[in-house]
Structure 1
Amino acid sequence: MTTTKGTPPPAHGIPAALARAVLTGGVAGVSLAALVVGGITENAPLFVTGLVLPAALGLLSFLAGAPRRAREAAVVPRTALAVIGSREAGGGATSEVPVRFGLTVVPDDGPAFRVDVTQDINVVDLPDYRPRGVVVVRYPPDRPWRARVVERPTPEWQERAASARLDPLPGTAGAVAPPEVPTLGFVVPFGLLLGAAAVVLLFRADLVGRDGAPKPPSAARPSASSTSSTTVVSSASATVLLGPGRSFLDPGELGRALDSLTGEGEARRALTVVVRERLLSVVFSPTGTRAPGFDPRALPHGRFPALVKEATTALGLRSPRTWQLTADRLTGSLVIRVVVTGAEGTASLEADGQGRVARRTSAR
């Protein structure tokens, strides 16, 4: 059997990954600090900068990746027969479930190879994909680990698959994705602190002058709760950090935290709500402005555990590492996003203001 393996990451890729990690953390720090400082000092351009900066970084990242995507799109995919060596179907709340196939691909002009792929299959069609059954696959010749089962092949390939007799090759998967360049995630917090510190230092005079003026009752000083959690609230933002052993996915935990941040009977509107395992962050709309926003207490937080579970188990990630749920209403209606990262890449799903899933993006 010919084995196609990923090549080690190039040495020059590590400095590039380091630079990307610092840049990502720096932009996040500058954006958050700009939102907070801009809200406190009533500096509208600074506040808008905090909203626009992440979008600008995303656009630059998209443009930087355009040449690579163009090269990959120019590669003509190959079609071949494959025999199913194993099949493992996962669970799901929809009509399509993720299925992990162990395939032996038999190209017409090359040696056979094994590959493991995960693909969403309609539950009605599952009986058509039995072990030792022959299917049609399509894959890029330079990236065979991205093979996909063709659910509706042409009549010619249907006839070939029906008449073929193939045996699966023994052993583990031979076509595997190359190891990713280390993400160096530990550098991101450093960049975040660096970016936030730069904004605070640049506008230190405005903040000091603001502190000397009388503050309305709503501009409460940061306060800390009991040792089980830490809460910091200001006029522009709020955060809650849970203690060890607790999670915002626990029943009622997120609802209590949102109630404590928004206050009794107050209708403080939020621009963004970000939820992680033990960290909740809320950026409030500036008082007296017409900035878009929503009442964070109206979020369907009872649906959040189910959304996170689906994102971490049903989108092709076998070993999810981190997850983040974001709710915002910068334009149009409220959108809830869950982004999960793992060894296989990044997966995400989007839901509406009622917690109903509208879009899923499997790991790539």
Structure 2
Amino acid sequence: MTIDTGASPPTHNTPLALARGLLTGGVVGTSLAALVVGGIVKNGPLFATGLALPVVYGLLFFLAGMPRRAREAAVVPRTALAMIERLEAVEGESSDIPVQFELTVAPDDGPAYRVGITQDINLVDLSDYRPRGVVVVQYPPDRPWRVRIVKRPTPEWEDRAASSRLDSVPGTVRVAAPPEGCAFGFVVLLGLLIGAAAVVLLFRADLFDRDATANPPSAVRPSVSSTSSTTAVTSASGTVALGPGRSFLDRGELDRAFDSLTRGRDTHQALTVVVRERLLSVVFSPAGTQSPGFTPRALPYDRFPALVEEATAALGAGSPRTWQITADRLTGSLIIRVVVTGAEDTASLEADGRGKVVRRAPAK
């Protein structure tokens, strides 16, 4: 069952949105390729470009979006009553904690509908929100899924909320943000591939000459394959792939993998470490540069299973999921990011160098 909420049609597949997706993918692909190629060929300007390009693009993207945000802020929101179907507080580390609400919104000039939101609520005020309670909400007329609870409504609306009783509507009458669609994801991937290929093609001579003449035979260790794992290491990067039935969350797997990549040398610095279910990738710091790095074996990988489990819990049960852990210190301090992707949702969190969670992002 669907209802007409007056929302504008999805804009993710418009030519402007697709062009923006292609440009974003190109910037990401170019930046990653510049970091890797710059590290391999020891090209300082190229490596610095890989670090600076996302920052510059993010600033330009923010500035370009200011007129749109100003127009959205100028739109007068609609006010309506809503009934709390259920709520669940998410663990937080401050006085304001995120609370997940399931609401039945009853506009004065349209049919009622269900919507799910997450909003920060102060611990002192949490007792004011309970199932079957009526609250005052506001939302943009063209985006009815962006509902926010009004914590201090006007006296008129406060009296209406206190004296009103609303009926629940079925969960099928639900409003949510329009999906991005396959076309948007495809152009982002296409842009990423184009950006990475452009960097590799521009510096292919340096890459191939380095492989053919610059490195002595001992500079690159050949791949070592077995029935259980495969290890490939160069002076700039290394990977370890596990066989079927094994996982890097198993006890001792990461310890053995890092040992094989660094040959037991704890001083071997890394720029980025990426861990997936059966694949470990490490980009090493270029020799002789001042690029920020860290010792891979110093990572709190005994905390990795718990971090993945905590991020997975936000998706709920019953859906297949994949996970990825990324560690880097490009901003000065070591940051560990965990992203878990289910059939429809994605949840993530960030932890510091000791494995303590410092930021969570709910499933969306």
Fold-level similarity (TM above 0.5): yes
CA distance in 1, matches of 2:245, 2:117: 33
Q: Which one is further off, 253-262 or 14-23?
A: 14-23
Tell me which residue corresponds to 1:297. Answer: 297
CA distance in 1, matches of 2:291, 2:335: 16
Map Cα deviations across residues 59-110 of structure 1 (whole Å, 9 max, x no partner).
34434443433332222333332123x3263775868465341x22233x42
Assess, with a 3 A threshold, how the Cα gap between structure 1 residues 76 and 38 changes in structure 2: closer, same or farther.
same
Map Cα deviations across residues 203-248 of structure 1 (whole Å, 9 max, x no partner).
233234333135385x323414324443322111223334444443
Superposed counterparts of 1:334-345, under 5 Å = 334-339=334-339
The one-letter amino acid of 1:13's match is: N
Q: Which one is further off, 122-131 or 111-120?
A: 122-131
Tell me which residue corresponds to 1:215. Answer: 216
* SS of equivalent to 1:68: helix
Considering only aligned residues, what root-mean-square deviation do their CA atoms show, in Å? 3.8
CA distance in 2, matches of 1:64, 1:341: 30
% identity of equivalent residues: 68
* SS of equivalent to 1:169: coil
Tell me which residue corresponds to 1:69. Answer: 69
CA distance in 2, matches of 1:311, 1:351: 11
The one-letter amino acid of 1:212's match is: T
Tell me which residue corresponds to 1:36. Answer: 36
Tell me which residue corresponds to 1:172. Answer: 172
Query: Per-residue deviation at 1:273?
Result: 1.9
Map Cα deviations across residues 232-266 of structure 1 (whole Å, 9 max, x no partner).
22111223334444443444433433332222134
Map Cα deviations across residues 115-158 of structure 1 (whole Å, 9 max, x no partner).
22132567886665443221222222221111133456566644
Superposed counterparts of 1:301-316, under 5 Å = 301-314=301-314
Alignment: residue pair count: 359
* SS of equivalent to 2:331: coil
Assess, with a 3 A threshold, how the Cα gap between structure 1 residues 280 and 104 changes in structure 2: closer, same or farther.
same
Assess, with a 3 A threshold, how the Cα gap between structure 1 residues 303 and 79 changes in structure 2: closer, same or farther.
farther
CA distance in 1, matches of 2:324, 2:290: 28
Contact kept, 8 Å, 1:7 with 1:178, in 2: the verdict is no
Tell me which residue corresponds to 1:205. Answer: 205
Assess, with a 3 A threshold, how the Cα gap between structure 1 residues 229 and 6 changes in structure 2: closer, same or farther.
farther
TM-score, normalising length: structure 1: 0.79
Assess, with a 3 A threshold, how the Cα gap between structure 1 residues 132 and 204 changes in structure 2: closer, same or farther.
closer
Query: Per-residue deviation at 1:315?
Result: 7.9
CA distance in 2, matches of 1:67, 1:55: 20
Tell me which residue corresponds to 2:45. Answer: 45
Tell me which residue corresponds to 2:88. Answer: 89
Contact kept, 8 Å, 1:132 with 1:167, in 2: the verdict is no
The one-letter amino acid of 2:307's match is: L
Assess, with a 3 A threshold, how the Cα gap between structure 1 residues 64 and 94 changes in structure 2: closer, same or farther.
same
CA distance in 2, matches of 1:197, 1:167: 57
Tell me which residue corresponds to 2:226. Answer: 226
Superposed counterparts of 1:227-242, under 5 Å = 227-242=227-242
Query: Per-residue deviation at 1:285?
Result: 1.2
CA distance in 1, matches of 2:3, 2:34: 55
Contact kept, 8 Å, 2:347 with 2:363, in 1: the verdict is yes
CA distance in 1, matches of 2:320, 2:57: 25
Assess, with a 3 A threshold, how the Cα gap between structure 1 residues 360 and 90 changes in structure 2: closer, same or farther.
same
Tell me which residue corresponds to 1:270. Answer: 270
Superposed counterparts of 1:157-168, under 5 Å = 157-168=157-168
* SS of equivalent to 1:137: strand
Residue 147 (structure 1) aligned with residue 114 (structure 2): no
Assess, with a 3 A threshold, how the Cα gap between structure 1 residues 130 and 205 changes in structure 2: closer, same or farther.
closer
Contact kept, 8 Å, 1:113 with 1:174, in 2: the verdict is no
CA distance in 2, matches of 1:99, 1:130: 12
The one-letter amino acid of 1:223's match is: S
Q: Which one is further off, 117-126 or 272-281?
A: 117-126
Tell me which residue corresponds to 1:114. Answer: 113
Residue 330 (structure 1) aligned with residue 326 (structure 2): no
CA distance in 1, matches of 2:9, 2:50: 38
* SS of equivalent to 1:302: coil
Query: Per-residue deviation at 1:295?
Result: 1.0
Q: Which one is further off, 32-41 or 283-292?
A: 32-41
CA distance in 2, matches of 1:187, 1:245: 34
